[in-house]
A and B are shown apart, each in its own frame.
Chain A
Amino acid sequence: AQTVTQSQPEMSVQEAETVTLSCTYDTSESDYYLFWYKQPPSRQMILVIRQEAYKQQNATENRFSVNFQKAAKSFSLKISDSQLGDAAMYFCARTYSSGTYKYIFGTGTRLKVLA
């Protein structure tokens, strides 16, 4: 089945603290890509970080990093030094159907940042 699961509908974090959002997925493909997108209240989808499945090294982008466990099909997002502007819906996504590289999205995690 083509599924991406985000088991945390909502998370809260204190400003300046660290939070981890979880994502697991199903796939039988070997060639795929994983992404985290942020959707603020404006609803514009913004790419946060990306990971190639064949790379063991975890991706990092400034305060954002991932813990990619390919065998476990897990792709969690860690946000360090959380800021008020990080408050948003976060969606995990992976590509499927190599050739078109369509996305399947997870159900989303709403992140609240507390001042």
Chain B
Amino acid sequence: GAVVSQHPSWVICKSGTSVKIECRSLDFQATTMFWYRQFPKQSLMLMATSNEGSKATYEQGVEKDKFLINHASLTLSTLTVTSAHPEDSSFYICSVRDRGLYNEQFFGPGTRLTVL
């Protein structure tokens, strides 16, 4: 399956600052990537679908002005958390979709964001 990396793996920032998280598909051209958020001991919640060359599609209840997504190439999608607040602290995971037989997703290792 596809190999997906995320950078950074862990970031601490001050309240009010912006943080950018990168998701790279290392061996696969990904027209579609997904961003998830996972709170401790909870499931993954889909935040948005990132489409190469077009605007991201956000799930209901996700603030698109707060969570900016850019999918500028077939191998890179970025999530920027703007004006971060402590309630934005979470584990953020990206995935790439394989448009083959199963439409399965391959996941990055995740990024732990802590906002002080």
Contacts and interface: CB of A to CB of B under 8 A. Distances in A.
Contact of A105 (B32, B43, B57, B106): B43
Interface stretch (B19-27, B61-69, B76-84, B97-105): B97-105
Nearest to A104: B46
Given A44-B107, A44-B109, A95-B103, A102 B49 contact: yes
Given A45-B93, A91-B43, A103-B34, A50 B107 contact: no
A36 to B, nearest CB: 11
Contacts of B28: none
A45 B57 CA distance: 23
A100 B101 CA distance: 14
A84 interface: no
A102 B60 CA distance: 14
Interface residues of A, number: 21
Contacts of A101: 97, 103
A42 B109 contact: yes
A100 B46 contact: no
A75 interface: no
B104 A47 contact: yes
Contacts of B103: 33, 95, 101
Contact of A108 (B1, B43, B57, B110): B43
Given A47-B1, A52-B102, 17 more contacts: A33-B103, A35-B104, A43-B91, A43-B109, A45-B95, A47-B106, A95-B103, A100-B32, A100-B57, A101-B97, A102-B34, A102-B49, A103-B44, A104-B46, A105-B43, A105-B44, A105-B45
Interface of B: 1, 32, 34, 38, 42-46, 49, 57, 91, 93, 95, 97, 101-107, 109-110
Q: Closest 7 A-B residue pairs measured CB to CB?
A: A45-B107, A101-B103, A105-B43, A105-B44, A44-B109, A43-B110, A107-B43
